[in-house]
Structure 1
Amino acid sequence: MTEHQSRKFTRRAIVLGSTATALAGCATTAQSPEQTAILAEPAPVAPLMYAALPTEQFPVPAVDISQIDPRFWRQDIDYETDEKTGTLIVDTPNKYLYHVHSGGRATRYGIGVGREGFAWAGRAVVAYKRKWPRWTPPDSMVARQPELRPYSVANGGMDPGLRNPLGARALYIHENGVDTLYRLHGTPQANSIGKAVSSGCIRLLNQDVIHLYDTVTDGSSIVVIPDPSVTPLLVGSA
């Protein structure tokens, strides 16, 4: 092989080698659509506020955050309102509950609200609150669902616990000293938050209702903003 031929062969080898390297790079970095989606949308990390609560009377499991949109996670936000500090504002259309603080701030919770036909709105007060409450469905509910008769008022209601529909805490809503039969209460069903699912009551994650219970006081005002898409039952609307 002549010196000229040797230099030509070497240049050809370099070109081919560079091409092979480039092709090898494409092969190792190419991703399937599924892999690309996984890389683009990493699973959210569960915040500590939704961890298990093993010291509760009935140990509360961690929230399955895959069942709830992160926008419904509890957070403190800027919130301007004419309502006084301590007021609870239920934004039914957007599925949020705000606990008003001073300085234009509020804690916002994601909620589940009443189904159409059971939705309600208006002004009332939080008369009192209970840890791990008993549940006694109203007679009207028992009439619709006779299987609930064992838990009726006459039969003493359902014992507290994780299966109890009121969850870990309940806040009891009265208007002019009269029980409205509506509650703010806990639920372990993360997939119900952000939806209209309950029979009128406002549900929060158990971890959230525990947090709310610890910060709200008896006698606090509650304002429920109606959803314009349904005809609400007005409570204390005067």
Structure 2
Amino acid sequence: MIFDHAPVRRSLSVAALLTAALAVAGCTDTSRMNADVFRYETAPVFFQSADTAQPPARRTTLYTTSFHQTYGLPVSNPVHLASYAATEDDGRMLPAIPYRSIDPRYLRQEVEYQTVEKPGTIVVDTRQRFLYLVQPGGKAMRYGVGIGRDGYAWSGRGVIQWKQKWPRWTPPDDMVERQPDLKMFAAANGGMNPGLNNPLGARALYIFKDGKDTLYRIHGTPDWKSVGKATSSGCVRMLNQDVIDLFERVSGKSQIVVL
């Protein structure tokens, strides 16, 4: 019997190209993606709950300890377990995040935060790798972020001009010139479809300054290991579960300060 391996080769080629896109894309890590990012847990559900802080359309599913055992992690802190559990969002299942492998400073939390910025303002501290959403009463929601490397960073004051769920990604023209394989995702070809492997992740918030697109975004990422590091090509990247939470809290035309 003769087997035609061409379809397999084509599938592997596309997968390799998507990984390359994640690695070189503006707003994405330039290091190799870890295979664990794309792993789905198939263990039986032991608990399901409707998170009252989330819209009814979303469902949070907590899996058995097999996910944590895979990473050699004990099950603890039910707040974080719920925050970073596998989550169904608009028909897509986001994998759970092994939060015990992340520096706890970079996990979502409310903190004391004294600032002259008004509530609702986003403040990105690139030195400390934190994003703050200013709250009333000297408080803020704090998220860990990955930021741009030297030479690819942006700072200043702008506005979140618009927000997008499961955005398409279009590499800039200069990036396509450096990486011709990305031409298939160029604007003329409609960009990369939304999805779990899309460099912009589950949500994107678009930063404008003086009415012009800065080409920098706050966005999700499937590469949870990049949070807390300076590894991207300029944008502010967040854990997918965190960028969804931020997206739901931020109103249109919110101010943003990148320090």
Q: Same fold (TM over 0.5)?
A: yes
**Any conservation in 2 of the 1:67–1:190 contact (CA below 8 Å)?**
no
Other structure's SS at 1:179 match: strand
**Any conservation in 1 of the 2:121–2:254 contact (CA below 8 Å)?**
yes
User: How far did residue 188 of structure 1 move?
Assistant: 1.7
Does 2:257 match 1:223?
yes
Q: 2:120 corresponds to which letter in structure 1?
A: G
What is the root-mean-square deviation of aligned Cα atoms in Å?
1.3
Alignment correspondent of 2:132: 98
Pair member with larger Rg: 1
Report the CA distance shift for 1:144/1:44 in structure 2 as closer, same or farther (over 3 A): farther
User: How far did residue 66 of structure 1 move?
Assistant: 4.2
Alignment correspondent of 1:59: 93
Q: 1:97 corresponds to which letter in structure 2?
A: L
**Any conservation in 2 of the 1:125–1:222 contact (CA below 8 Å)?**
yes
Question: Where does 1:172-211 land on structure 2 (aligned, <5 Å)?
Answer: 172-211=206-245
CA distance in 1: counterparts of 2:106 and 2:151, whole angstroms: 24
User: How far did residue 155 of structure 1 move?
Assistant: 1.1
Answer with 58-67 or 216-225: which moved more.
58-67
Other structure's SS at 2:151 match: coil
Question: Where does 1:1-238 land on structure 2 (aligned, <5 Å)?
Answer: 43=74, 45=76, 46-225=80-259
CA distance in 2: counterparts of 1:43 and 1:121, whole angstroms: 39
- TM-score under structure 1 normalisation? 0.74
For structure 2, the residue ranges without an aligned partner over 5 or more in a row are 1-72
**Any conservation in 1 of the 2:99–2:107 contact (CA below 8 Å)?**
no
User: How far did residue 57 of structure 1 move?
Assistant: 2.6
CA distance in 2: counterparts of 1:87 and 1:105, whole angstroms: 12
**Any conservation in 2 of the 1:63–1:188 contact (CA below 8 Å)?**
no
Q: 2:144 corresponds to which letter in structure 1?
A: G
Answer with 186-195 or 50-59: which moved more.
50-59
After superposition, give the CA deviation of every residue in 1:31-78 in whole Å (9 maximum; x if it has no partner): xxxxxxxxxxx8573531001102443110100224421110000011
After superposition, give the CA deviation of every residue in 1:84-133 in whole Å (9 maximum; x if it has no partner): 11110000001000000111110000000001110111011000000000
CA distance in 2: counterparts of 1:63 and 1:187, whole angstroms: 11
CA distance in 2: counterparts of 1:201 and 1:119, whole angstroms: 7
Report the CA distance shift for 1:162/1:109 in structure 2 as closer, same or farther (over 3 A): same
- TM-score under structure 2 normalisation? 0.68
Other structure's SS at 1:80 match: coil
**Any conservation in 1 of the 2:196–2:222 contact (CA below 8 Å)?**
yes
CA distance in 2: counterparts of 1:152 and 1:59, whole angstroms: 27
What is the number of equivalent residue pairs in this alignment?
184
CA distance in 1: counterparts of 2:196 and 2:115, whole angstroms: 35
Other structure's SS at 1:59 match: strand
Other structure's SS at 1:173 match: strand
Identity %: 56
CA distance in 1: counterparts of 2:225 and 2:218, whole angstroms: 17
